């Protein structure tokens, strides 16, 4: 929220406060002329504001058309949305990626146009996993990217059904087949491969392996409890494994060892 600007004569001072906890990399300041469209999500009741910089085609507002439905699907799977607002920002300058800045992710305009819903799903999922639940150390970033990637699978399952989602899982699996550095190990002691495909794809596959092992009902109970119990705090891989074992009543060390720490990509259970 912005306090009233203070007129200093030559300059004006704006003061913004964020009441929720926020990791420093999730703050964003975008200064330009933006077109703004605001709605109250009909399914979620969440105020959604989208910002598109002057010069970017306004047709890109269409890329945000499913945001309310995406949020509704994620709330159904993950539990309550952690913040009181949502939306997206599309600057005119190209930067080639998207980032899950808190409550207002920023999107590269070409990426948003090409990828559409999937990148929106990914950045919105980070509002839970990455933003509300922040990994205690960067070498556990699969807790961000694996979950956000798996949210893409859940969206495809929601819109196109189980067979389409299974096809997407297969694509992720094939792309990791010859990749031998597992997501729990790849960032140990350095940050050269922080955003390696391993933390995204094999991270997401780890969650799918868990789902296939414990079944849908228990899996989503684990995910929801994890997101709710650790909301607005730091998390570790061990927190997640401990909770998964508690809720499922199963010993899952072997599963997580194979998927997160062993070189060989396991068969999907």
Site string for Zn ion, 140-169 (x = CB under 5 A): -----x--x---------------------
CB of 118 vs Zn ion, minimal distance in Å: 11
107 contact partners, CB below 8 Å, separation of at least 6: 63, 88, 89, 90, 98, 119, 120, 123
**Is beta strand 98-99 parallel, antiparallel or unpaired with respect to 106-107?**
antiparallel
Q: CB 228: neighbour CB atoms within 10 A?
A: 15
> Where do the DSSP E strands lie in 115-210?
133-135
Nearer to Zn ion, 68 or 145 (CB): 145
Nearer to Zn ion, 44 or 197 (CB): 197
Residue 224 near residue 202, CB atoms below 8 Å: no
Q: Applying CB under 5 A, what is the total number of residues that bind Zn ion? A: 2
Q: Does position 125 bind Zn ion by CB under 5 A?
A: no
CB of 122 vs Zn ion, minimal distance in Å: 5
CB of 121 vs Zn ion, minimal distance in Å: 11
Nearer to Zn ion, 146 or 184 (CB): 146
Element (H, E) at 174: helix 162-176
CB of 98 vs Zn ion, minimal distance in Å: 8
Nearer to Zn ion, 148 or 265 (CB): 148
Residue 147 near residue 219, CB atoms below 8 Å: no
Q: Which residues bind Zn ion (CB under 5 A)?
A: 145, 148
């Amino acid at each position: 929220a912005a306090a009233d600007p203070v007129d200093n004569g030559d300059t004006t001072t704006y003061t913004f406060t964020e009441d929720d906890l926020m990791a420093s990399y999730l703050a964003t300041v975008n200064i330009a002329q933006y077109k703004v469209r605001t709605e109250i999500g009909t399914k979620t009741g969440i105020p959604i504001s989208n910002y598109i910089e002057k010069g970017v085609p306004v047709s890109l507002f269409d890329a945000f058309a499913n945001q309310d439905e995406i949020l509704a699907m994620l709330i159904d799977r993950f539990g309550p949305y952690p913040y009181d607002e949502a939306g997206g920002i599309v600057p005119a300058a190209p930067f080639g990626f998207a980032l899950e800045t808190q409550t207002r992710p920023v999107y590269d305009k070409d990426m948003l146009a090409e990828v559409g819903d999937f990148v929106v799903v990914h950045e919105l999922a980070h509002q839970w996993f990455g933003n509300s639940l922040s990994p205690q150390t960067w070498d556990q970033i699969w807790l961000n990217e694996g979950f956000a990637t798996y949210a893409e699978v859940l969206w495809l399952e929601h819109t196109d059904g189980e067979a389409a989602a299974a096809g997407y899982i297969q694509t992720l699996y094939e792309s990791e087949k010859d990749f031998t550095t597992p997501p729990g190990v790849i960032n140990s002691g350095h940050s050269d491969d922080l955003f390696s495909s391993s933390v995204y794809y094999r991270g997401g596959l780890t969650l799918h392996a868990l789902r296939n092992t414990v079944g849908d009902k228990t899996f989503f109970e684990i995910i929801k409890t994890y997101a709710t119990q650790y909301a607005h705090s730091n998390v570790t891989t061990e927190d997640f494994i401990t909770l998964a074992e508690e809720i499922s009543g199963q010993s899952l060390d072997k599963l997580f060892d194979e998927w997160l720490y062993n070189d060989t990509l396991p068969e999907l259970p």
